[in-house]
Chain A
Amino acid sequence: AQKVTQAQTEISVVEKEDVTLDCVYETRDTTYYLFWYKQPPSGELVFLIRRNSFDEQNEISGRYSWNFQKSTSSFNFTITASQVVDSAVYFCALSEEGSWGKFQFGAGTQVVVTP
């Protein structure tokens, strides 16, 4: 069975600090996909990134970066120089090959950025 664990319930930082969100997953499949989504207070889930299990290269997009390590089954997300607009709940999700639209989401991490 697949499982996604986001151990951090809430992280509070002051603007311009860096924040790292942890995501640990479990799956028996060799082919799988990992995602990060942002859910601002308005409620809609915003897609941030997709990574497949064969691509372990780290990725950077602006102030966002992702560290994928298969050896530890982790897919961590770092926001550099945080801003108030980054305040949201962030979800990590896992999808196995052939599972179609069945995403297994973690419980989410609430990020609070104060000025």
Chain B
Amino acid sequence: DAGVTQSPTHLIKTRGQHVTLRCSPISGHKSVSWYQQVLGQGPQFIFQYYEKEERGRGNFPDRFSARQFPNYSSELNVNALLLGDSALYLCASSRDGNNQPQHFGDGTRLSIL
């Protein structure tokens, strides 16, 4: 079975632009979570979706939004990009999201110029 897949792998944007990152979970997994990992730090929780509903939100501004589709794939949107948004964005999936081990994708490396 394929693991968690994320696209694109790398992305370069300028300040003020918006970006959409995509994630496909492992087959059979209904929960998707998004994390931001700044260089040299641990991942920080952004959102968690289960059965297309938001179940958790981290301490991120409203510029960050997400959604989950009927096929359980997910998108993370970031508006009005700032230099500080430069990071590795990780998507993770699990069967039901409730403290189950999360399986991570390779991430999207976002660079803001």
B101: chain A residues at CB < 8 Å are 35, 47, 50
Residue of B32, B41, B58, B88 touching A102 (CB-CB under 8 A): B58
In whole angstroms, how far apart are the Cα atoms of A50 and B41 in the complex? Answer: 21
Given that A43-B106, A44-B104 are contacting pairs, would A101 and B42 also be in contact in the complex, using a CB cutoff of 8 Å?
no
Given that A33-B99, A35-B101, A43-B88 are contacting pairs, would A101 and B45 also be in contact in the complex, using a CB cutoff of 8 Å?
yes
B104: chain A residues at CB < 8 Å are 37, 44-47
Interface residues of A in 7-57 (CB under 8 A from B): 33, 35, 37, 42-47, 50, 52
State how many angstroms separate the Cβ of A86 from the closest Cβ of chain B: 19
Please state if A44 and B105 are interface contacts (CB–CB under 8 Å): yes
State how many angstroms separate the Cβ of A76 from the closest Cβ of chain B: 17
State how many angstroms separate the Cβ of B7 from the closest Cβ of chain A: 14
B97: chain A residues at CB < 8 Å are 100-101
Residue on A with the closest CB to B31?
Answer: A101
Please state if B41 and A101 are interface contacts (CB–CB under 8 Å): no
Q: Is B21 an interface residue (CB 8 A)?
A: no
Residues on A facing B (Cβ under 8 Å): 4, 33, 35, 37, 42-47, 50, 52, 91, 93, 95, 97-108
Q: Rank and list the top 6 A-B pairs by shortest CB-CB distance, nearest first.
A: A105-B42, A101-B48, A101-B33, A45-B104, A100-B55, A33-B99
Residues on B facing A (Cβ under 8 Å): 31-33, 35, 40-45, 48, 50, 55-56, 58, 88, 90, 92, 94, 97-107
Q: List 28 A-B contacts (CB under 8 A).
A: A4-B42, A43-B106, A43-B107, A45-B90, A46-B104, A47-B101, A47-B103, A50-B100, A50-B101, A91-B42, A93-B42, A97-B99, A99-B99, A100-B33, A100-B50, A100-B56, A101-B56, A101-B97, A101-B102, A102-B48, A102-B58, A103-B35, A103-B45, A103-B102, A104-B45, A105-B42, A105-B44, A108-B41
